[in-house]
């Protein structure tokens, strides 16, 4: 029985609504098994029939991507992942594909479902080799002619692959043949791979994961094992999924779009918020310009820029819509603006880390009365003065890239450890931490982590973070809560970058291109929300 799955009461559902607003949950290996069991008990459906449904869905995706000119060579294990592979080979054989299957069972034992699908595959006369305890056998593989289906191990694996199975994995990886992994590349753990032997993991070309992605898919060091992944729905219980509590979610357009607030036809600049950006130093006016332009594009009513006197001419020309509040210094920020008249404040892009500027940041943190975004040099200053973290108002949004994050939370050895440490740090201080990168992680003060799927490698360019700071500051000024502004702003930023890359190519992108595509990205999000 699925004792750990409990349908929430209406009151419980209301208190957790925000947590699940961006709704593709990431489940642990144990929770994936629980959801399978819940589906079987409450649909109801037998395990072998659920496996058949999964195999049909996996086969449909495979057929969509690979033509019948390819020979399909499956490597199946003795568990249910192997059963999926055997069922998939039967379906592909019946669809006219040439198939060859190697079933490895060094202990001679098969799961019930794997055994049933072995019999079914044998009954149609498919080419299958059973490998038990004798010397390993491998087919001759051709990179141009073959596609490998990896069904050795599934998401339940909890110890590193060694011995004969590691030899099979090394053979597949050395063959240079395209590999399609079922659910998860064999040898990879669902969640934390800190103690895994990653040399003994399949390097897949494509991974067809069942129902929802695994946490390990979202970490950069695992990309070479996973390749391109897609989630294959097999009709697992929505009720059961809703009832499972998880700390991890992947954002989806249909849910992010629900955060958008319609603009009143009676709106004017006084009702759309007044934002303040404390940005720039001599030679770093570009950071001020980029954050200002994106803030204005986000829909804010008014924007004031606090920047050194030397930046006045270029800011007046580049951002004529902004109010320029010059600092008495021509070089760096040395004074603090009264923040009581602003609906949001953004601090950091291009301000430098000089002692005078550090004092300014300290004074801003001590006096700020509006929702705040901290980025770039503001974070670098905090890393030099960790005792100031306690001054940061609750639910302030911090947007570090990995190097800036290292200065805040200390060293880490891999992405999973970084995520866990960041989550704990955000909870300890009551802050929202946006760890920028592929699948940007948004760590909320309540411990929940959202992974944002928009964005691309073309955004790895100077000024991209300044653009995000401006968007977030603009959304806060318009009355979005810090949580809403972060989820919407990070999505919008990444989606704008995706549109820019589609036209300009990733290698040619500039940070200003992201701003250029903000209107199109917003329109796209609105249309996606309407369609659903």
User: What was the pLDDT predicted at 46?
Assistant: 98
Show the low-confidence residues of the chain (pLDDT under 50): 1-22
Which among 98, 114, 171 has a CA at the least distance from the CA of 140? 171
String of DSSP letters for 423-467: HHHHHHHT-EEEE-STTEEEE-TTS-EEEE----GGG-STTHHHH
284 and 428 both lie in a single domain: yes
Q: How many whole angstroms separate alpha carbon 99 and alpha carbon 89? A: 7
Can you state the angle between helices 47-65 and 112-123, rounded to 10 degrees? 60
In a domain, residue 448? The reply is: yes
85 and 223 both lie in a single domain: yes
User: What was the pLDDT predicted at 136?
Assistant: 80
Where residue 227 falls (left for φ over 0; alpha for ψ -120 to 50; beta otherwise) is left
113 and 230 both lie in a single domain: yes
- Using H for helix, E for strand and C for coil, what is the string for 64-108? HHCCCCCEEEEEECCCHHHHHHHHHHHHHHHCCCEEEEEEECCCC
Structure tokens at 247: 């700390």
**Residue 21, Cα to own-chain centre: how many angstroms?**
15
In a domain, residue 380? The reply is: yes
String of DSSP letters for 250-316: E--HHHHGGGPPPPPTT--TTTS-EEEEE---TT-HHHHHHHHHHHHHTT-SEEEEEEEGGGHHHHH
202 and 292 both lie in a single domain: no
296 and 204 both lie in a single domain: no
In a domain, residue 127? The reply is: yes
Can you state the angle between helices 415-429 and 402-409, rounded to 10 degrees? 60
168 and 307 both lie in a single domain: no
Q: Could you tell me the sign of the dihedral formed by the alpha carbons of 317, 322, 327, 333, in that order?
A: negative
In a domain, residue 501? The reply is: yes
Number of other CB atoms surrounding residue 289 within 10 Å? 29
394 and 490 both lie in a single domain: yes
47 and 114 both lie in a single domain: yes
Is the separation of the CB atoms in 392 and 431 below 8 Å?
yes
In a domain, residue 32? The reply is: no
User: What was the pLDDT predicted at 236?
Assistant: 97
Q: How many whole angstroms separate alpha carbon 269 and alpha carbon 267? A: 7
Which among 433, 414, 415 has a CA at the least distance from the CA of 423? 433
In a domain, residue 11? The reply is: no
227 and 279 both lie in a single domain: no
User: What was the pLDDT predicted at 10?
Assistant: 31
User: What was the pLDDT predicted at 532?
Assistant: 57
**Residues of the domain holding 232:** 42-244
User: What was the pLDDT predicted at 2?
Assistant: 37
Is the separation of the CB atoms in 453 and 217 below 8 Å?
no
In a domain, residue 361? The reply is: yes
CATH number for position 295: 3.40.1190.20
DSSP structural state of residue 479: T
Question: Strands 302-308, 24-25: parallel, antiparallel or unpaired by DSSP?
Answer: unpaired
User: What was the pLDDT predicted at 132?
Assistant: 83
222 and 292 both lie in a single domain: no
Cα separations (Å) of 253 from 18, 257, 272, 474?
Answer: 15, 6, 24, 20
Q: Could you give the number of structural domains in the chain?
A: 2
In a domain, residue 34? The reply is: no
182 and 239 both lie in a single domain: yes
423 and 482 both lie in a single domain: yes
Name every residue whose Cβ is closer than 8 Å to that of residue 272 and which is 6 or more positions away in sequence.
Answer: 263, 299, 300, 301, 302, 477, 478
Q: Which residues are 208's β-sheet partners?
A: 182, 230
Give SS3 for 150.
strand
Q: Phi then psi for 195, rounded to 5 degrees?
A: -105, 15
CATH number for position 120: 3.40.50.10260
């Amino acid at each position: 029985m699925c004792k750990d799955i409990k349908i929430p009461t209406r009151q419980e559902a209301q208190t957790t609504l925000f947590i699940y607003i961006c709704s593709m949950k990431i489940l642990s290996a144990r929770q994936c098994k629980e959801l399978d069991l819940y589906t079987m008990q409450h649909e109801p459906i037998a395990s072998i029939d659920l496996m058949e449904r999964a195999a049909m869905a996996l086969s449909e995706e495979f057929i969509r991507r690979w033509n019948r000119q390819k020979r399909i060579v499956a490597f199946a294990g003795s568990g249910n992942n192997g059963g999926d592979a055997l069922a998939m080979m039967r379906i592909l054989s019946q669809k006219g594909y040439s198939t060859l299957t190697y079933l490895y069972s060094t202990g001679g034992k098969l799961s019930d479902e794997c055994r049933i699908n072995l019999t079914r595959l044998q009954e149609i006369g498919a080419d299958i080799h059973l490998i038990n305890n004798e010397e390993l056998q491998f087919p001759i593989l051709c990179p141009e002619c073959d596609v490998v289906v990896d069904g050795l191990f599934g998401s339940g694996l909890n110890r590193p692959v060694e011995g004969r199975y590691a030899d099979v994995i090394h053979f597949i990886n050395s063959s240079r043949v395209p590999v399609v992994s079922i659910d998860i590349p064999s040898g990879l753990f669902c969640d934390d791979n800190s103690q895994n032997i990653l040399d003994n993991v399949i390097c897949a070309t494509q991974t067809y994961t069942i129902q929802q992605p695994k946490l390990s898919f979202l970490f950069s060091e695992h990309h070479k094992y996973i390749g391109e992944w897609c989630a294959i729905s097999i009709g697992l219980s929505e009720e059961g999924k809703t009832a499972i509590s998880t700390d991890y979610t992947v954002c989806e357009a249909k849910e992010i779009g629900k955060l958008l607030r319609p603009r009143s036809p009676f709106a004017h600049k006084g009702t759309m918020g007044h934002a303040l950006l404390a940005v720039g130093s001599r030679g770093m006016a570009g950071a001020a310009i980029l954050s200002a332009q994106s803030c204005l594009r986000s829909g804010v009513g008014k924007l004031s820029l606090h920047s050194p006197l030397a930046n006045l001419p270029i800011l007046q020309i580049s951002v004529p819509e902004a109010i320029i509040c010059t600092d008495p210094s021509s070089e760096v920020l040395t004074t603090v603006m009264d923040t009581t008249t602003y609906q949001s404040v953004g601090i950091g892009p291009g301000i430098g880390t000089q002692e005078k500027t550090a004092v300014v940041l300290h004074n801003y943190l001590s006096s700020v009365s509006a929702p705040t975004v901290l980025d770039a040099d503001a974070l670098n200053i905090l890393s030099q003065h960790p005792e100031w973290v306690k001054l940061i108002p609750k639910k302030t949004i911090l947007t570090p890239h990995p190097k800036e994050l290292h200065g805040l939370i200390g060293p880490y050895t891999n992405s999973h450890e970084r995520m866990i440490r960041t989550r704990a740090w955000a909870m300890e201080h009551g802050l929202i931490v946006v760890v920028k990168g592929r699948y940007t992680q948004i760590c909320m003060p309540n411990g929940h982590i959202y992974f944002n799927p928009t964005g691309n490698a073309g955004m790895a360019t100077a000024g991209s973070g300044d653009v995000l700071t401006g968007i977030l500051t603009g959304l806060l000024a318009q009355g979005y809560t810090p949580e809403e502004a972060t989820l919407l702003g990070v999505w919008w930023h990444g989606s704008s970058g995706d549109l820019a890359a589609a036209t300009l190519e990733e290698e040619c992108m500039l940070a200003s291109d992201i701003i250029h595509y903000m209107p199109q990205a917003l329109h796209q999000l609105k249309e996606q929300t309407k369609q659903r």
